[in-house]
Structure 1
């Protein structure tokens, strides 16, 4: 097992949600964590979290859609913290609306942040990792990287793009016999602040599609993937597994099901707040905003654990156990027949 103390880790989107929980979890392992995001209030609070957990923090205000800013941030990390061991791409933005209600410049901005931000982050990481033949890039994905849903055309398009990019890059690194690893973690619905700050044109308050998991579940999955990056991807949550299997077996049926239920399941019964911020162009925790933290508004509906995540991480053990049970059952059956 690799010694994880004093690892140098970069987390994009570290000011809130999954990124915030991931950064805090690395801090608890005494890592040196660089935090990339736009909002300075969230970055400062995230840095305080890491230091309180026992780690070292470097907050770097960065728009991941700007390749020069990302590359400059990577230079700062290596100058102040040391060679980057792990780079975690989390940062994203989105628009909750029907496709017809999304403006071209909004769709472009979502793509630049939620897809190209991953590309630029990966470029910065590999430029520094490949000469050393060491390092890991973790792409935080979603079940929506495989299965599009209504009201999220921009986000689903970006996640599908990240999935294709990840697969192509992984093949290239394998062909080069590189020791640099890339892996992807496909997330379920997570209780993050995005539902309170994403640009929304829905009549009611946006919500994740149940079942909902806490950000710490996602963070544990990311840390495990960073420690075990040979797997091409990890699935988190039973809902992710069910969605991807259903989409592989009967995608047309799932299209119709989502057409009937997808709009309603992504909204609460409460009207959207008139003063809800939108972080598409400017951070929600800007001068007039506040630190949103890791959790959203759905703590009461969210699970702090995932049995499926444990199963995904221990599939070899489960397979061995299943084989042993099958062999025992066969022996008992033969004994009853003799």
Structure 2
């Protein structure tokens, strides 16, 4: 029997790249997002790769819509095996330039969207005592940066919520698994359609990875969900460990470099953003999986490859530790030079 997989945020970026991978596996893939043009396009891709798609336009901020997605998935394909939460929204701006309504919307989608999806999945998985939930997290859920306070806060909340849920499942002796795949900076269309109040076009903080790298990490986490969380990309490992060892130093470094590192020299995009209304809602408006940074994005990650090949994990862990230490040394030199 093919797997039944639900992917939220499936119309672009990491969600779309993950849907393609499950299509190649021949899975039944339920594709969830607000933008119908992107959903129809990824459905065609999944079908061409050998999977069976089901398009479900929905806003995961609404718990009733999340429940309707789960019900439709099981009517069409049967029991849900894997539920992947990946939908999000954001605003690039200093905190005092983000309105209360914007902050609420980002939290509703990026945090409560994961809560709503998890609730809908668990309502079906718990009685069967099987199933896997993957939360697509971020290094920014452990180490916040400037200009993304609402997004960082939501990603931190996902970690706290998931840790609490995991202990409850352990208490019950449940065989339902929940894990988090922590992501690096990824080249997705969000930087073209995000609400932006910066002076220039927003960009991910280098090093940047292609969505396919992230998708491989998500699928591996779904296939091996016993670990609490997985780190995808050496920069994720380095960032998290540097923050654990030298958080004050990292604060000063990000205060000095974090604004410029998230902006190109180009003028910011004008027109619509997707905070409240999807950009890809009409035919011909599909944005694909990739963003505007193909020229600088990495298609491979040695750390992610080591994650998928346990025999090399020891070497990878050692290299990641060296990378983290080297990063801390660079931070020290940079901050010292700024003082």
Residues 22-37 of structure 1: pairs in structure 2 closer than 5 A: 22-37=18-33
Alignment deviations for residues 46-80 of structure 1 (CA, whole Å, 9 cap, x no partner): 10010011100000010000000110111011001
Equivalent residues, number: 318
Structure index of larger Rg: 1
Q: Distance in 2 between matches of 1:158 and 1:128?
A: 25
| Alignment partner, residue 295 of structure 2 | 300
Q: Distance in 1 between matches of 2:315 and 2:184?
A: 27
| Alignment partner, residue 268 of structure 2 | 272
| Alignment partner, residue 88 of structure 1 | 84
Question: Are 2:105 and 1:121 equivalent residues in the alignment?
Answer: no
Structure 1 residue 288: deviation in Å? 7.9
242, 250, 253: which one aligns with 1:254? 250
Q: Distance in 1 between matches of 2:94 and 2:221?
A: 34
Q: Distance in 2 between matches of 1:87 and 1:176?
A: 20
Question: Are 2:150 and 1:145 equivalent residues in the alignment?
Answer: no
Structure 1 residue 274: deviation in Å? 2.4
TM-score, normalised to structure 2, is 0.91
Question: Are 2:28 and 1:39 equivalent residues in the alignment?
Answer: no
Residues 47-86 of structure 1: pairs in structure 2 closer than 5 A: 47-86=43-82
169, 173, 177: which one aligns with 2:173? 177
Query: Is the 2:7–2:85 contact (alpha carbons within 8 Å) kept by the matching residues of 1?
Result: yes
Query: Is the 2:303–2:316 contact (alpha carbons within 8 Å) kept by the matching residues of 1?
Result: no
Of stretches 307-316 and 257-266 in structure 1, the one that deviates more from structure 2 is: 307-316
Question: Are 2:239 and 1:243 equivalent residues in the alignment?
Answer: yes
* Cα RMSD after superposing both structures: 1.7
Alignment deviations for residues 65-117 of structure 1 (CA, whole Å, 9 cap, x no partner): 00001101110110011110000000000000000100000000000000000
| Alignment partner, residue 279 of structure 2 | 284
| Alignment partner, residue 327 of structure 1 | none
Query: Is the 2:37–2:283 contact (alpha carbons within 8 Å) kept by the matching residues of 1?
Result: no
| Alignment partner, residue 306 of structure 2 | 311
Q: Distance in 1 between matches of 2:150 and 2:206?
A: 21
Structure 1 residue 263: deviation in Å? 0.4
Q: Distance in 2 between matches of 1:129 and 1:180?
A: 7
Structure 1 residue 229: deviation in Å? 0.4
Where in structure 1 are there 5+ consecutive unaligned residues? 323-338
Structure 1 residue 176: deviation in Å? 1.2
| Alignment partner, residue 192 of structure 1 | 188
